[in-house]
Structure 1
Amino acid sequence: MTSADETPVRVGVFGLLGSGNLGNDGSLEAVLGYLRAEHPEAVVDALCGGPEVVATRYRIPATRLHWYRGEYRTASRAGAIAGKGLGKLVDAVRTAAWVRRHDVVIVPGMGVLEATLPLRPWGFPYALFLLCASGRLLRTRVVLVGVGAAPIANRPTRALVRWSARLAAYRSYRDVQSRDAMREMGVDTARDEVYPDLAFALPTPRASTPSGPPGPVCVGVMDFHGGNDDRARADEIHRRYLDGTTRFVRALVEDGRPVRLLTGDECDAPVAAAILDAVDSPLVTAAEACSLADLMKETAAADTVVATRYHNLICALKVGTPTLALSYAAKSDALMDRMGLASYCHPAREVDADRLLAQFRELEKNSAELRRTLTERNELAARRLKDHFTALTTTLFPTKTATRTVKESA
């Protein structure tokens, strides 16, 4: 409860939330869970990509991130180009006005400091820079909580990301590679900590224990075209990824295995549809997951998971299901290593269906041992995230922390 003479802390959450990416929304859900459990007095709202979804699903007021509604559509006509240009100026004012209304702004998880997927500097990197610069100018603490980072070759994008990180009042990362990447980009990370991804703080459904004949396999697919530096080869990379994944699914079906296709973003749906059409078997179905909770239920019911999207991997690993990663970035390799499955990675850019099938069979052969390993690693992740939230309370709610200390010492 908040006392009569105490003003509630005003907390904003910021990012591409409610925009169709289940991983981003899962990070938001984890932070909201922390705030509602530990700081129910906080008044929370969002500046985000999908305000209608966020307001309906998470029951907090939400404002659209960009003034220009066509921000993420390719602009080829003069009117659209002018609209985007004007939007950049309007967004600077809108962002500052929104930041001014808050005591603290949280950027919850997400790969906000990386460009492992195609990204333009004037898109989200510019929006993040506006947020962090406004926070510094208006003395509102902007905190980057459990975020992902990676080396960035594009100079304008790298500069915006570097300055965003420098202007933030607090930073924590979801893996060591992220912290190293920011240090290499010139950010002082001496006080920055590394914790497990925020999604590991979400409730975990009970996983099934395989018995009898081999059961279902979840295959997480992605609209993968390579990274930000692969634009010239994007179509070729996508064709190779789709062909290799389709051949792998067909091989599973020929072995009589039911296959459940998973996605993690709205843009992945055409990939799942293409595989369904190509394989054309009643053994292959596609899940309609709307949240990480839905994805965890799907992966918990499977014997084994093979997945591409980072948060598909997290969902499978969190429920303790043996998992093979179609890795498209260093963050996937780091996650698999941390969870004890480093040898079960396969490059998404070079999907070799025969080699992937051999790795899959090795994974299944070691299933019982890997489930024990995942149980141990998940227990460690839970303890580390508890430490993370304690550190957040100390940083964001110093008055409440001091009050607790006085009470405990009385």
Structure 2
Amino acid sequence: MGLFGLFGSGNVGNDGSLVALLDHLRADRPEAEVDALCGGPETVTARYGIPAARLHWFRGEYRTAARPGDILGKGVGKLVDAFRIAAWVRRHDVVLVPGTGILESTLPLRPWGMPYSLFLVCAAGRLLRTPVALVGVGASETGSRPVRGLTRWAARLAAYRSYRDTLSRDAIRAMGVDTRNDEVYADLVFALATPPPGDSSGPPGPVCVGVMDFGGSNDERDRADELRRRYLDGMTRFVRALAAEGRPVRLLTGDDVDRPVTEAILEAVDSPLVTAAATASLGDLMKEMAVADTVVATRYHNLVCALKVGTPALAVSYAAKSDRLMADMGLGEHCHPARDIDAGLLLEQFHALERNRAEVRQTLAEGNPVLAGRVRRQFEALNALLPASGAAPDPARQETP
């Protein structure tokens, strides 16, 4: 089996989806040979113990193409990648794309990045008769015609599609894909093991504040600098207000690109009450959040982690998926827009959440088993697509073309 996605590239949410599916495969198909085609193969192999290959032939893929050599390398790389990806797909009985917002444009992306790569995987799967399954993925509409076209065709060519929320299925339907047989389950991360809760009888815990390098969606590139400044200013004012109230604050991130934001807030607030946590996985995030009194989170999977461990959370929402997740958990009123942060209003919402902390914890305790059950049903449905347990690999697919 092959696993495809931007794993090992610094985004702990993407890696969390990988771990959730790997845990299922290891429990249900312990004999299966599994490898990955991903963004950070060395990291994936070291952390998760599976062979992994680099997604892009050109090693400078993620650098800005300012020099002629980089422009040429990227252009040639796209052609080479078409053959490399087809060869990788051919070696597998099935290719799984676990979770993540792989069909989303809620953050900036270029059509020749992940949309192109995913299209190549799905097209190769259809051509070579290797089923490609999009498992519990996120999706969104976009105004970019190239991104929309590649996303639409990738979804059409996939042998199986399921989504983490109804918004994602609706977005794919709006792009012209027949989704009548597609199911909605829940984010795969809700299948992960949960650390033990903190001791509520002890001294008050910290407030975990998840921040991100937020500069708007793919359709807001012309406003990115303005949105980034506004977001950083609003979150800095909010953290400063918490520190002024004597509240310990732990700054959390969900991607390596978020670290400059934590550094800027630490420098601006300059308080011993404000510290930054080193988190390399969703497990690390959940451990931090399990001992917190309250979480204020921007990144989607920061929010998922808070809800999963049962800690009252307030969403600084940058996309409709966060609003929908909070509404599905019965916490729809605890949202604040990331594009227009009002630090004073955010602080009021924070205090209101804390006043209702016991009620919110009860709501989460009732809602989490429901979402975990949906993921179990997702895995049961996926099993019908996987090779039978104990089946020998197809020798023809094991040969390298």
Is TM more than 0.5 here?
yes
In structure 2, what is the equivalent of residue 408 of structure 1?
A: none
2:177 aligns to what SS in structure 1? coil
Shift of 1:400: 4.4
In the TM superposition, what is the alpha-carbon distance from 1:76 to its structure 2 partner? 1.7
Residue in structure 2 matching 1:73, options 60, 63, 76:
63
Matched letter for residue 29 of structure 1: V
Is structure 2 residue 4 aligned with structure 1 residue 14? Answer: yes
Deviation of residue 214 (structure 1)? 4.2
Query: Greater CA deviation, 219-228 or 76-85?
Result: 76-85
CA drift of 1:396 comes to 1.7
- Return 213-222 or 13-22, whichever deviates more: 213-222
1:348-387 → structure 2 map (5 Å cutoff): 348-387=338-377
Q: How far 1:206 sits from its partner (Å)?
A: 1.4
Identify the residue that residue 48 of structure 1 maps to in structure 2.
Answer: 38
Q: Does 1:284 align with 2:284?
A: no
User: C-alpha offsets along residues 187-233 of structure 1, whole Å, 9 cap, x if unaligned?
Assistant: 11111111110001000011224346643100000000011111111
Q: Is the 1:316–1:323 Cα contact (8 Å) retained in structure 2?
A: yes
Alignment match, 1:110? 100
Equivalent residue number for residue 6 of structure 1: none
Q: Which residue of 1 aligns with 2:50?
A: 60
The one-character-per-residue Cα deviations of 1:227-252 (angstroms, maximum 9, x if unpaired) are 11111111110111000000000110
Report Cα offsets for 1:17-60 as digits up to 9, x if no partner: 00000000000000000000001111000000000000111111
Q: 1 CA distance for matches of 2:332 and 2:203?
A: 27
1:339 Cα offset (Å) = 1.3
- Runs of 4+ in structure 1 displaced over 2 angstroms? 209-215, 399-402
Alignment-derived partner of residue 199 in structure 1? 189
Q: Does 1:301 align with 2:291?
A: yes
Q: Distance in 2 between matches of 1:344 and 1:50?
A: 35
Match 2:113 to one of 123, 127, 132: 123
CA deviation vs aligned residue, 1:57-97 (integer Å, no higher than 9, x gap) = 11111000000011121102211111000000000000000
TM-score normalised per structure 1:
0.94
SS of corresponding position for 1:396: coil
CA distance in 2, matches of 1:300, 1:176: 28
1:313 aligns with 2:281: no
Unaligned runs of at least 5 residues, structure 2: 392-401
Deviation at 1:395, TM superposition (A): 2.0
Match of 1:135 in 2: 125
Structure 1 residue aligned with 2:25: 35
Pick from 150, 153, 163 the counterpart of residue 160 of structure 1: 150
Match of 2:395 in 1: none
Q: Which has the higher contact order (CA 8 A, sep 6+)?
A: 2
- Quote the Cα distance in structure 1 between the aligned partners of 2:195 and 2:356: 23
Aligned to 1:7: none
Opposite residue 39 of structure 1, the aligned amino acid is R
Deviation at 1:394, TM superposition (A): 1.4
Map of 2:242 onto structure 1: 252
Alignment of 1:146-157 (within 5 A): 146-157=136-147
- Contact between 1:109 and 1:197, CA under 8 Å: does it hold in 2? yes
The residue aligned with 1:325 is 315
Of the three residues 223, 240, 243, the one matched with 1:233 is 223
Q: Is the 8 A contact 2:13 2:254 kept in 1?
A: yes
Structure 1 gap segments, 5+ residues each: 1-10, 403-410
CA contact (8 A) 1:393 1:401 kept: no
Aligned-pair distance for 1:340? 1.3
Cα distance in 2 for partners of 1:213, 1:86 equals: 59
Q: Does 1:95 align with 2:85?
A: yes
Q: Paired residue for 2:398?
A: none
Q: Secondary structure at the residue paired with 1:356?
A: helix
Secondary structure of residue in 2 paired with 1:305 = strand
Q: For the residues of structure 2 that align with 1:277 and 1:364, how far apart are their CA atoms?
A: 27
Kept in 1, the 8 Å contact 2:2–2:96? The answer is yes
**AA at the equivalent of 1:103:** D
Q: Which of these residues, 320, 325, 333, is aligned with residue 335 of structure 1?
A: 325
C-alpha deviation, 1:99, in angstroms: 0.4
Q: Quote how far apart the aligned CAs of 1:401 are.
A: 11
Asked whether the 8 Å contact 1:17–1:25 carries over to 2, the reply is: yes
Contact 1:95 1:131 in 2 (8 A): yes
8 A Cα contact 2:29 2:389, kept in partner: no
Q: Name the CA distance, whole Å, in 2 between partners of 1:264 and 1:47.
A: 21
Q: What is the CA RMSD across the aligned residues, in angstroms?
A: 1.2
Question: Residues 299 and 315 of structure 1 are in contact (CA less than 8 Å); yes or no, is this contact kept in structure 2?
Answer: yes
Task: Decide whether the 8 Å contact of 1:394 with 1:401 is kept in 2.
Answer: no
Q: Residue 177 of structure 1 corresponds to which residue in structure 2?
A: 167
Cα distance in structure 2, aligned partners of 1:113 and 1:388 = 18
Structure 2: distance between partners of 1:113 and 1:203: 26
Any conservation in 1 of the 2:205–2:291 contact (CA below 8 Å)?
Answer: no
Deviates more, 1:276-285 or 1:203-212: 203-212
2-structure distance, mates of 1:94, 1:342 = 45
Read off the aligned partner of 1:276 and give its amino acid letter: L
8 Å CA contact 2:209–2:252 kept in 1: the answer is: yes
